[in-house]
Amino acid sequence: MSIVKSNKPFTPKQVGERIKERRTELNLSMPELGRRVSVNKSTIQRYEADGVDPKRTMVINGLAQALLTTPEWLTGLSDEKEYSNYTVCQMSLEKHIKAYLETVTSAVDGEPRQEMLTTFLGQIIDLYAILTKYFALSMEKVNQAAEDEGLKESIRKYAINIGSITEQVYQKEMQIPVDDIKKYLDGILHLYDEGRTKTSMPELFGMVEQAEQKLLDKQNSVAP
């Protein structure tokens, strides 16, 4: 998260100075920066020489993204120049979410159906968040196996590669969250089935709660 320096933004001239500072720091030419923000070299020259009004949000945001920095730093509201990992992840996901929203609102007729699809996506994201926590646990165990000198010495006798062991560790640890996501998607597929595979909405939406409980049980089982 950026550290807020002031509630008062820079003057346009100061913004231009920061644009030039960051471009030079990244060793970017004016034409290259222009290509990144879809303007020509002369426009970049004008931005740096004459400045950019900090209220021009779209221009500032585009420049910040092209310069791998934050709008707050460009406009003098923060001294934090670099994106945090959180911000990078957020920017990446926002592109996908934006594309989804544009698709669902333009292609799907009826608000109830749009809401249902949005709920499905939210549930899948929740399940993926749980998978992420399993992934963290699995990486700990994979690293432990890869660094276990005693294990390495033992498996050398049988000509087994340590990669085969870590692969098995990973697959074992990740099986539960992957199966939960498969089960959820299968539930969507069979939502309108009339036979034994029919899945009710309460059952479908209860899967996240069940997955969270399984994760909690696992974390408690490995806690010291």
Query: For 141-151, what is each residue's pLDDT tens digit?
Result: 888 877 777 76
- Do residues 73 and 2 touch, judged by C-beta distance below 8 A? yes
Per-residue pLDDT band for 192 (boundaries 50, 70, 90) equals confident
Question: Tokens for 22?
Answer: 């960051």
Mean pLDDT of the 65-84 span? 88
**What residues contact residue 157 under an 8 Å CB cut-off, 6+ apart?**
none
Predicted pLDDT at 2:
40
d(CA 20, CA 102): 35
SS3 breakdown of the chain: % helix, strand, coil, rounded to 5?
75, 0, 25
